[in-house]
């Protein structure tokens, strides 16, 4: 799993990356991004569910237009593999 984040001039952020399924069976992932303090205060988080990534496969994600709780970030990205 990897991700990058970018701050745009208008004050919004974008988080992008890929989830990698290292198992042999399809797995669903949940990706959440938040810009601001690590405690989650400030701006709302954005979440995307990525269903059924095939075994040993990967899938790119983009979460754009993230509202910033703090103009200088940081951007936190959390990836969770859900039970299928």
pLDDT values of the chain reduced to their tens digit, one per residue, 84 residues: 567 888 888 888 999 999 999 999 999 999 999 999 888 777 789 999 999 999 999 999 999 889 888 888 899 999 999 975
d(CA 39, CA 26): 32
d(CA 34, CA 13): 9
Per the CB < 8 A criterion, the answer to whether 82 and 27 are in contact is: yes
Task: Note the pTM of the prediction, 2 decimals.
Answer: 0.86
Whole-number pLDDT of residue 1: 59
């Amino acid at each position: 799993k990897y991700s990058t984040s970018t701050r745009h001039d208008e004050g919004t952020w974008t988080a992008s990356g890929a989830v990698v399924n290292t198992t042999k069976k399809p797995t669903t992932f949940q990706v959440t991004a938040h810009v601001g303090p690590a405690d989650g205060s400030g701006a709302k988080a954005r979440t995307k569910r990525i269903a059924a990534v095939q075994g040993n496969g990967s899938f790119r994600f983009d979460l754009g237009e993230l509202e910033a709780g703090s103009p200088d970030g940081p951007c936190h990205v959390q990836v969770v593999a859900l039970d299928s």
